[in-house]
Amino acid sequence: MDTAGSDQSKPEKKLHPLAHLAKETVENYVKQEHVAKPKELTPEMKQRAGVFVSIKKFGALRGCIGTFEPTQENVAEEIINNAISSATRDPRFAPVTEAELPHLSYSVDVLTKPEPVENTDQLDPKKYGVIVECGRRRGLLLPDLEGVNSVAQQIEICCQKAGIHSREPVKLYRFEVRRYSLE
């Protein structure tokens, strides 16, 4: 049996290139405080869009940071910045440690441009993410999240995240995502 080139005891699941970029970025940053740029950009990486990077450990959220709209030159740069932020700057969690790296999974959500909605009938928690806005305060929730089954839940969570009281008037926006993780 030829084991040449096999330096891992278990085969790694194949990640989509966008999720692989997030994983590689976090691992390089946590181990060496080094930010590697991708050698080659896929067509998805060349676009401009808002991006969220979610990190889970044993299926539980470990970090999630993103951008509503593009802030970088392309999706690859958005992933790199948001992957590092998810791993090190999510205020809900301590920074990711090197010991945790083998236990982490990654997903990348690329957002469509947010569009205003007139009423909640135009929302669907499985299909659309939601942004609530009240003055300068904004909260966002990605679509199709476990345990979020109603528009009311989506809006309530968004308001909590933004520090918006339930009685304050809000503007609503919706967006869709392309979610990348396992191929």
- DSSP codes, 50-79: -EEEEEEETTEEEEEEE-SS--SSSHHHHH
- For residue 77, give the amino acid letter: E
CATH of domain 115-176: 3.30.1490.150
**Residue 13 neighbours by CB under 8 Å, 6+ apart:** 182
pLDDT of residue 182: 67
Determine the pLDDT at residue 36.
Answer: 80
* C-alpha–C-alpha distance, residues 183 and 76, integer Å: 18
Q: Which two tokens stand for residue 94?
A: 């301590």
Rounded CA gap, 174 and 114, in Å?
A: 5
For the purposes of burial, counting CB atoms within 10 Å of the CB of 8, is it exposed (0-12), middle (13-18) or buried (19 or more)? exposed
Per-domain boundaries in the chain? 17-111, 115-176
Class of CATH domain 17-111? alpha beta
Per-residue pLDDT of the chain (183 residues; tens, 9 = 90+): 444 444 444 455 678 999 999 999 999 999 999 898 888 899 999 999 999 999 999 999 999 999 999 999 999 999 999 999 999 999 999 999 999 999 999 999 999 999 999 999 999 999 999 999 999 999 999 999 989 999 999 999 999 999 999 899 999 999 999 999 865
Per-residue pLDDT at 37: 86
